Amino acid sequence: LTKKCIHEVKVNLVVNGNVVNGAIAEGQHKYEDVQGTNTAIIHVSKGQSVWVEAHSGSHIEGDNGDNRYTTFSGFLLYERK
């Protein structure tokens, strides 16, 4: 029997301490790279905090010479009146 070594990344999109969305990417083998993407459109007001929070045990890797990156972007689509 071969033992599966699952590497996964689980993250939440958080606004002022409240989870509003989540994403997961997981591989089945130790040397398998996985990719994932997620899109969320949320309404926030000036002064609110928005961040991405990793679940405990997630394997988030930065650039280690193999060009692996984790990114998060936010954009103002329009201002509400």
pLDDT tens for 33-77 read: 667 778 899 999 889 999 988 876 666 655 555 666 667 788 888
Can you give the residue ranges of every domain in the chain? 1-81
CA dist., res. 42 & res. 79, Å (int): 12
Instruction: Give the count of beta carbons closer than 10 Å to the beta carbon of residue 5.
Output: 11
Closest among 12, 18, 78, 11 to 48, alpha carbons compared:
18
Output the pLDDT for position 31: 67
**pTM for this one?**
0.69
pLDDT of residue 46: 86
How do residues 11-35 score in pLDDT, each as one tens digit? 899 999 999 998 887 766 666 666 7
pLDDT of residue 16: 95
The two structure tokens encoding residue 42 = 């949320």
